[in-house]
Chains A and B, each alone.
Chain A
Amino acid sequence: MKDSSSLHAGKHKNPWVKLIRSALLYIAIALAIWGWVALFSPAHVSDITKTVYLTFSKVIKIIIAVTLGIGLLQVWVTPEQISRILGKEAGWRGIILASTIPLILGGSLFVILPLVKALREKGARLAACIAFISAWSGKAPLLPLEIEFLGLPFGVLRLVLTIPFALVTGLIGEMVLERLGGESPKEIS
């Protein structure tokens, strides 16, 4: 009980505390792996150090640029703005917009799911909601990173295919759910 209330308060008062806590957790896991190798297989420590160093130096500039870009995107194009645009659109246009606009959104599914829930409550149809979630995976802001690791053809093909992918998941999802009788069982809140 105490935990959840302090977490809740932390969310409102200081988001940094939570961020720093999870950052330290990841660093601790990484160091634990490193330490384990140092203890049991010291010969491999330099291999791991080399991989970490080489990969970081390869992507550090891209990641800084992407991070700055996401910051700008979040303030100039907010998810709320997008949901406002989508909220107005019904029918086919809405589904097509839902399959394309979220490509430029950042964040994780933990942000996207509540946003889509809000869209649903504003009257967006099921197909648009599912398409929205799928289209978000296009992750256009991360494209520079994707190209660096997987090549230009991969990045472009994935981005382009994400649109029909989102459209089809949305339409099939809606069809199946409606045949089953809607998205409920309604949650008890």
Chain B
Amino acid sequence: MKLDSGWIYLLIAGILIVISLIKDTGKTKKAFVTSAKVALTVFPVLFMIFVMMGFLESFVSKQTIASWFGPNHSFLGIIYGELLGSFAMIEPAAVFPFAGFLKLNGAGYGAVIGFVMSAMLIGVTHMPLEGQLFGVRFMVVRNLITFLLILLMGIVFMGVL
């Protein structure tokens, strides 16, 4: 029988909770509150992403996804992945399920890493805050350099995986 890796992760989390409880009950209670907040943030987003994945699966053919993000389009595929990620506006936790969906539907590793990294680091929704905190020049330079280096990372991923 194949062992479900989910149980292993739960077991590890359980052990850590016990250790934390022994060390400091108050802090552990705080941790549970944080966990509840994270769960409340993550689950609805995941629900939406999973519905969207089902939707795309039904209405967009694998060939279409593969033709945009597929390994044959290597270099452009990375850029398309990055553009998708920059405008995706999704929680980090939802990035991986959607990236897995792209991979399953024929996207290449270059496009997948482009999507993952830019969804975390470039997201257009963060730009106003970044500009306000650090100045527009910082925001533009950081995002441009990040975009270019993700491209490089995509090339490495295509070569290695």
Contact = CB atoms under 8 A, between A and B. Distances in A.
Interface size band for A: 35 or more
Interface size band for B: 35 or more
B155 to A, nearest CB: 11
A158 B156 CA distance: 10
Interface stretch (A5-13, A22-30, A80-88, A89-97): A22-30
A169 B120 CA distance: 15
A26 B31 contact: no
Contact of A145 (B30, B93, B129, B141): B93
Interface string A147-184: 11110011001100100010011001100110010111
A interface secondary structure, majority: helix
Contacts of B37: 15-16, 19
B17 to A, nearest CB: 6
B116 interface: yes
A189 to B, nearest CB: 9
B93 to A, nearest CB: 6
Contacts of A51: 50-51, 53-54, 57
Contacts of A29: 48
Interface string B131-161: 1111111100110011001000100110011
B96 A145 contact: yes
Interface in B73-122: 91-93, 96-97, 99-100, 103, 109, 112-113, 116-117, 120-121
B interface secondary structure, majority: helix
Contact of A172 (B33, B44, B97, B145): B145
B42 interface: yes
Contacts, number: 236
B58 A63 contact: no
A33 B52 contact: yes
Interface in A122-164: 130, 133-134, 136-137, 139, 142, 144-150, 153-154, 157-158, 161
27 contacts: A33-B51, A37-B58, A51-B51, A59-B46, A62-B6, A67-B42, A69-B13, A70-B35, A71-B36, A72-B28, A72-B35, A74-B31, A75-B27, A109-B130, A113-B133, A142-B96, A147-B5, A148-B5, A149-B97, A154-B112, A158-B113, A158-B116, A165-B149, A168-B149, A169-B145, A172-B145, A172-B149
Interface of B: 4-7, 9-10, 12-13, 16-17, 20, 27-28, 30-48, 50-55, 57-59, 91-93, 96-97, 99-100, 103, 109, 112-113, 116-117, 120-121, 123, 126, 129-138, 141-142, 145-146, 149, 153, 156-157, 160-161
